[in-house]
A = this chain, B = another copy of it.
Amino acid sequence: MPRKLDISLKKQPKQARAIATVDAIVEAATYILKRHGAAGFTANKVADKAGVNIASFYQYFPNKEALLFHVATLTWDRQLAQLAPVLARGGQDHAAKLREFIRMFFAVEAAEADLRRALRIAAVELKDTAQFRELMDEGAALTRTFIEDALRERAPGDLSFDVRFIVLLTTSFAERTTDEGTSDAELMRQADLLADMLIGHYGIA
C-alpha cells in the first residue's frame, strides 16, 4: 500500500538566500544522520541545527521524507561521482578493472558508513516511492553496464541473471562489512578476495 508520499521539493530555491537555507538544512540533516542516526532525525532538530525556522523547512520540503530523499540523492550522486572514473575507464583488462572497481566501491562505502547506515534505516519508508526506486535504479544501471561489459565475452546463457547476482553480491557485502566496522586493511583484503572469486569463477580475463 504505497502511501501518498510526496517527495519532491516544493519549489526550487532560486535566490541566494534560499539556496543557503536549503544547504544549511541538508548539511544539518547529514550531520544528524551521521551522528545521531535515523532515530535522531526529526524535522525540528534538523531545522534547529541548521539554524532555520521550522516553517522555512516546510517551505522547501513538503515533509521530512522529502529531505531524506534529497540527502539520499546527494549522497548517492557523490558516491557515484567517486566511482565514475573507474566505471568509465576503457580498455579490455576487465579483471584488473573489476578488482579496482570493487576496491573502490568498498572504500567509498566505508568512507560514509555512518551516513549510509542511517539512510538505510531512515529510508525504509521511501522504498515504496517511485522516485526513490528510480534513484536506486539509476545508480545500479551504471554498475550493471560495467559488469555486463566485463562478463559479455564469457557470457553464460543468462547474462542479466549473472549481472544481477554480482551487483547484489558486491553491494550487499560492502554494505554489511562496512557496517560492521571492518578495518581498512581487512576491507581491502576482502575486496580482493571477492574480486578473485568472481574473476576465477567467470574466467574474466
Which A residues have a C-beta under 8 Å from some C-beta of B?
37-39, 121, 124-125, 161-162, 165, 168-169, 171-173, 175-177, 180, 186, 189-190, 193-194, 196-198, 200-201
Contacts and interface: CB of A to CB of B under 8 A. Distances in A.
16 contacts: A37-B124, A38-B124, A39-B124, A121-B121, A161-B186, A161-B189, A165-B193, A168-B180, A172-B172, A172-B173, A172-B175, A197-B197, A197-B201, A200-B200, A200-B201, A201-B201
Contact of A173 (B125, B161, B168): B168
A199 to B, nearest CB: 10
Q: What's the number of copies of this chain in the assembled complex? A: 4
Contacts of A125: 39
Contact residues of A: prevailing secondary structure: helix
A70 B131 CA distance: 36
B189 A169 contact: no
A182 to B, nearest CB: 9
Contacts of A38: 124
Nearest to A176: B172
